[in-house]
Homo-oligomer: A and B are copies of this chain.
Amino acid sequence: MISLAELQQSIEQGTLTAEAAIGRSLEAIRARETSIGAFVCHDDNARAQRAGPLRGIAVGIKDIIDTADFPTEMGSQIYRGHRPRADAPVVMALKQAGATIIGKTTTTAFAANDPTPTVNPHNGAHTPGGSSSGSAAAVAAGMIPLALGTQTGGSVIRPASFCGVAAIKPSYRLLPTVGVKCFSWTLDTVGLFGAGVRGIARGLSAMTNRGELVVPASATAPRIGVVTQAFAGAPEAVGAQALQKAARAAEQAGAAVRELAMPEIVAEAWRIHPVVQEFEAHQSLAWEYRENYDAMPPLLRGRLDESKGGTPAEYDAAMDIAGRARQALATIFDEVDVLLTLSAPGAAPKGLSSTGDPRYNRLWTLMGVPCVNVPALVAEGGLPVGVTVIARYGADAQALAAASFVEDALKRG
């Protein structure tokens, strides 16, 4: 993989030009893209910018995010050839920080369930996960140091886990979703993929002008609460093993680690996540579903068919539960600095017919709290399995610092 942190250091020290750094990505894309299929389109003539902390950093943008210089097709034939007038604010933030937008990465149609042809770079017989399939795969395949994705259920953290890369789903609305195809406005969150936690922290810091997001050279050992999310069912053996391994490594590195039970209202929030998601999706995708029914991707269309009867009263009740769960969760962060939990039930499933199960991710998206995936182990078939580090709403710097601590501990262990 291409490390953003190392690239940035080489460019700043003058041992690598920004142009040569972009050249590395172009070369890697030429070498690997045909077998991975992570891009919808890319710019073979991409050039580096002259200034900015992200100069020389080639970035892939999930194809539900508006770009003025590339088509934005939402993974669906309904948007074939669609070219937005403007760049989305997150794309402009990357450009203003000096980054080079190198292309658009594959997305399941409308960031839902219908898979793309992208394969997992660690094992071509397996899914890379979704919905941000191309962004996770492009980073994992060493083609680019940074990519943007989005998460409504588990569309950033799950593919990151399956592809063995670091990723952050920041606090709700730390990054604007303006110009990003909406599925659910209460849930949709823009996230970043990179080779390591320090790299995504630098990327997010540069995009937001928030210096505090850069992980400090030496992180203090966090107080960690391990959450098994029993309400979401049991994980596969390898998922449980990843969580245990990460918890043990963190403890050995000096962290205070203990298991934490979630209050009932939080489990209740996990249950009603789909109510919020589908009620809003029926509005967000009303034009596509009502006026382009036959062209709709089949899995998403089926989901919308099934959830057609959702009522405002059910939605209001679900939103009320979400609000109370957020308050309950906030008090838990008085006892621990971060939570540690599963990023997925296990390794990436075989085949490309499913992008995997978001059941360990969706609660945290609804809570709006920052989540960071850290690769924890490599399972049979060379398939990675990750864990998630979660901090209080708004404490993205703490989530990244603690995730970096866990990442370092796992490397040592």
Interface residues of A (CB under 8 A from B): 68, 78-79, 82, 85-87, 89, 92-93, 96, 173, 176-179, 182, 185-186, 208-210, 280, 283-284, 286-288, 290-291, 311-312, 316, 394
CB neighbours of A92 from chain B (8 A): 283, 286-287, 290
Interchain CB contact under 8 A, A87 and B210: no
CB neighbours of A96 from chain B (8 A): 286, 290
- 8 nearest A-B residue pairs (beta carbon): A92-B286, A86-B287, A89-B283, A178-B182, A87-B287, A210-B312, A178-B284, A176-B283
In the complex where A89-B284, A288-B86, A290-B96 touch, is A312 in contact with B208 (Cβ < 8 A)? yes
Interchain CB contact under 8 A, B185 and A93: no
Residue of B nearest to A79 (CB): B85
CB neighbours of A68 from chain B (8 A): 287, 291
Residue of B nearest to A394 (CB): B316
**CB-contact partner of A178 in B176, B209, B283, under 8 A:** B283
Interchain CB contact under 8 A, B93 and A283: yes
Shortest CB-to-CB span from A182 to chain B, Å, is: 4
Residue of B nearest to A210 (CB): B312
* Alpha-carbon separation in the docked complex, A182 to B78 (Å): 24
CB neighbours of A182 from chain B (8 A): 176, 178-179
CB neighbours of A89 from chain B (8 A): 283-284, 286-287
* Alpha-carbon separation in the docked complex, A284 to B186 (Å): 18
* Alpha-carbon separation in the docked complex, A85 to B173 (Å): 25
* Alpha-carbon separation in the docked complex, A112 to B291 (Å): 32
Interchain CB contact under 8 A, A87 and B286: yes
Shortest CB-to-CB span from A73 to chain B, Å, is: 10
**CB-contact partner of A85 in B82, B283, B316, under 8 A:** B82
Residue among A176, A177, A316 facing the most chain B CB atoms (10 A cut-off): A176
Not counting A68-B291, A86-B287, A96-B286, a sample of 9 additional A-B residue pairs whose C-beta atoms are within 8 angstroms of each other reads A78-B85, A87-B291, A89-B284, A92-B286, A177-B185, A178-B185, A179-B182, A208-B312, A209-B312
* Alpha-carbon separation in the docked complex, A85 to B66 (Å): 13
Name 27 A/B residue pairs within 8 A (Cβ), A-sorted: A68-B291, A78-B85, A82-B85, A86-B287, A87-B286, A87-B287, A87-B291, A89-B283, A89-B284, A89-B286, A92-B287, A92-B290, A93-B283, A93-B286, A96-B286, A96-B290, A176-B185, A176-B280, A176-B284, A177-B185, A178-B283, A178-B284, A208-B312, A209-B311, A209-B312, A210-B312, A316-B394
CB neighbours of A287 from chain B (8 A): 68, 86-87, 89, 92
Residue of B nearest to A287 (CB): B86
* Alpha-carbon separation in the docked complex, A284 to B185 (Å): 16
Shortest CB-to-CB span from A52 to chain B, Å, is: 13
* Alpha-carbon separation in the docked complex, A173 to B284 (Å): 12
Interchain CB contact under 8 A, A185 and B208: no
CB neighbours of A86 from chain B (8 A): 287-288
* Alpha-carbon separation in the docked complex, A79 to B84 (Å): 11
* Alpha-carbon separation in the docked complex, A68 to B287 (Å): 9
CB neighbours of A186 from chain B (8 A): 173
* Alpha-carbon separation in the docked complex, A182 to B177 (Å): 10
CB neighbours of A209 from chain B (8 A): 311-312
CB neighbours of A284 from chain B (8 A): 89, 176, 178
* Alpha-carbon separation in the docked complex, A46 to B290 (Å): 20
* Alpha-carbon separation in the docked complex, A284 to B182 (Å): 15
Shortest CB-to-CB span from A82 to chain B, Å, is: 6
Shortest CB-to-CB span from A236 to chain B, Å, is: 36
